[in-house]
Homo-oligomer: A and B are copies of this chain.
Amino acid sequence: MAKTKGLTSQQEDFSAWYNEIVYKADLADLSPVRGSMVIKPYGYALWEHIQRSLDDMFKATGHDNLYFPMLIPISFFEREAEHVEGFSPELAVVTHAGGKELEEPLAIRPTSETIIGEMYSKWVQSYRDLPLLYNQWCNVMRWEMRTRPFLRTTEFLWQEGHTAHATAEEAMAETTQMVNVYADFAENFAAIPVIKGEKTEGERFAGALVTYTIEAMMRDSKALQSGTSHYMGTNFSKAFDISFNDVNNEQAYAFTTSWGLSTRMIGAIIMAHGDDKGLIMPPKIAPHQVVIVPIYRKDDQLAKDQVMAAVDELAGQLRDQAVRVKVDSRGGMSPGWKFNEWEQKGVPLRLELGPKDLEAGEVVIANRLKENKETVKLAEASSVVVSALKQFHDDLYERARVFRDERSFVVDDYESFKEKVAQGWVHINHCGKPACEEAIQEETKATPRCIPFVGPETDGPCVRCAEASAYPRKVIFAKAY
């Protein structure tokens, strides 16, 4: 595979490759504000497709959207002990507004459990008011020290779902449902195979009793946590008094959940699929599924008119089949230059149409996953494209699955663990103790990703400390973003 000029190869320096492709493919730009980025139109269009797909799934599972204030009184954070410990160090704080110092400083939301808890307390009086099944799309801010575009920025865009239920069972079912929704999205829209599982105690969300996660393997074999769903029990409902009269007319606390997925998913898509030529976009959420590059000599107006007429007709046929088509009719640059640009931007299919193709009644199809181009009859082009896009999704998913499975290991001793965790993901018997996890991290840089819902069963004591294993299944450890 020819690598793109001026793009560091993944092998050489994956991290440099990532930073370069983000800017070269016009997904984002640096901003004058430390740790923030500008999401450029090509990156934002991807986010819009992610939003639309997820939002449909949220609504299909009974959730409504709403919007809570972005500024939260600092005192709210102090009501839940673990939550304040987790988030206080990262808060951005408004101290002055309207030319005056505020009586109480206001934090920009790093997540909204607290202000939502305050409102739910008002909205929930009786079991008849439950469940509350709400979501909001918004910006949040966490003042991180080391930032990288999409993966970790001080400001980022996300959705945060927050639900309240009458029973623990219902709340747990919601927590499970939403991690399933995220996995469904990752696999069926982003073409990224994910492992669903539970976080160990040391990796849980600040204030949660259970955190479920989807973990995806990037092409440097590191893991990226790509969406999480939390069961809070009554931690937040006690802190914010979300209580209600139950069916027996007794006062009870609600059980709450929260779940979120962010612009980090764009980082996952870049790193799970990209190669040395650049991005590879999953077709279902690609800004452009197909680009058509018309080919003609500048000085041949007749050929240009004929080619453009055929291109417009083909584009129309594709749009009729709900295919997102970009016609690249820019002047002043060669077809070869355009081919490179769209390869770098990862458009799944590129159609090339010139006077000779037109004469033969054909069009050339270049597939971003294949080396060789294909020639098809113009009359059949739109149906070929529609099925090629479906196949592209399957191939892209399968490519990522094979890549991950080849780099996933099950080991029984700590020496093998250290060797294999340098190469990928490793399943081991694990005690679940935060101290043991910290030692593993110090020695190998690997962290526990999750106790997978499905996976090899535990068959002995902790591989590192030899204490009793804590879970029925082996825990996956990996280096992670």
Cβ–Cβ contact B33 & A106, under 8 A: yes
8 Å CB contacts to B: which residues of A59-75?
64-73
User: How far apart sit A119 and B32, CA to CA, in the bound complex (Å)?
Assistant: 8
Main secondary structure of the interface of A (DSSP, over half): mixed
8 Å CB contacts to B: which residues of A128-146?
128, 134, 138-139, 141, 143-145
8 Å CB contacts to B: which residues of A221-275?
none
Output the residue of A43, A44, A91 with the most chain B CB within 10 A: A44
Cβ–Cβ contact A64 & B45, under 8 A: yes
Chain A interface, number of residues (Cβ within 8 angstroms): 58
Partner of A92, one of B36, B71, B119: B71
Cβ–Cβ contact B99 & A89, under 8 A: yes
Cβ–Cβ contact B97 & A67, under 8 A: no
Q: Which residues of B contact A70 (CB under 8 A)?
A: 36, 139, 141, 155
Cβ–Cβ contact A64 & B44, under 8 A: yes
Contact flags A104-117 to B (C-beta < 8 A → 1, else 0)? 01101000000100
Q: Which residues of B contact A38 (CB under 8 A)?
A: 66-69, 119
Cβ–Cβ contact B65 & A44, under 8 A: yes
A37 proximal to B (CB < 8 A): yes
8 Å CB contacts to B: which residues of A89-106?
89-99, 105-106
A122 proximal to B (CB < 8 A): yes
Which residue of B is nearest A71, CB measured? B33
8 Å CB contacts to B: which residues of A163-192?
none
A48 proximal to B (CB < 8 A): yes
Known: A40-B66, A48-B65, A70-B139. 13 other contacts (CB 8 A): A33-B106, A38-B67, A39-B66, A41-B65, A92-B106, A93-B95, A94-B94, A94-B108, A95-B95, A97-B143, A98-B143, A98-B144, A128-B332
17 A-B residue contacts at CB 8 Å? A31-B68, A31-B119, A32-B73, A33-B69, A33-B115, A38-B119, A40-B66, A41-B66, A41-B134, A44-B65, A44-B67, A70-B139, A88-B99, A89-B99, A92-B94, A93-B97, A139-B139
